[in-house]
Amino acid sequence: MRYLALLFALVATPALSASTPTDGAAALLLQTAGRWQGELAYRDYQSNSWQALPVTVTIAAQPDQVTTIRTAQFDDGPKTGIVTITTVTMVDPVAATLAYASFRRSRAPDSGSAKIVSVVPGVDAVHWTMVTTERRGDGNDVAQVRETTTRAGDTMTTLKEVNPDGDTQDVWLPRNRSVLRRIGS
């Protein structure tokens, strides 16, 4: 669920005039504040089909201008019930990274830092794309993880892809995606 953190941490910024690939990333983070709802879709590894869960997210921007606190909730079925994930995300514009720490009941905290590869502005402040990469665990293996977040007005989509270490292919495999719609500030 850490990957949702990146999704919800990356929303519009006013007039990105990027002189470097990461200019404007902190402003994107701040403007994620509000309420969102949509779905988290993931690839079921046994059937190789996509499954989706409804999700709601609330994001609070912090006064430091680079940090948000996000709470995501989804129903993971009758055995698990409602899952709540709290994630703190911070952009370091100097290091061009997106640091995160996520907390979920009955699981060890998850933390890390992804490199901000690009911030591509669109026609206005609510149309843009951001790409991050990070080498981290993926199941029982290690992989390069790429997340591409695209904002198109009040819709935000994040696709998480992995490129497993140790294979001889340069192929990015989709792992999960989320599509959210802004429902309030």
* Number of alpha carbons in the 13 Å side-chain half-sphere of residue 118: 10
* pLDDT number for residue 10: 39
Quote the pLDDT of residue 132: 95
Instruction: Count Cβ atoms below 10 Å from residue 11 Cβ, excluding itself.
Output: 28
Predicted pLDDT at 128: 85
Q: Per residue of the chain (185 residues), what is the pLDDT tens digit?
A: 444 444 433 333 333 444 455 668 888 778 778 999 999 998 877 888 899 999 999 989 999 999 999 999 999 889 999 999 999 999 998 899 999 999 999 999 999 999 999 998 888 878 888 999 999 988 888 999 999 999 898 999 999 999 999 888 888 989 999 999 999 88
Q: Is 74 exposed, middle or buried (0-12, 13-18, 19+ CB in 10 A)?
A: buried
Distance CA 170, CA 87 (A): 30
Q: Following DSSP, what letter does each residue of 53-72 receive, concatenated?
A: EEEEEEEEE-TTSSEEEEEE
Q: What size, in residues, is the chain? A: 185
Beta strands in the chain (DSSP E): 34-44, 49-61, 67-75, 82-92, 97-104, 110-121, 127-138, 141-152, 155-164, 173-184
Domains parsed from the chain with CATH numbers: 2-184 (2.40.128.20)
Spatial separation of the C-alpha atoms in residues 27 and 98, rounded to whole Å: 12
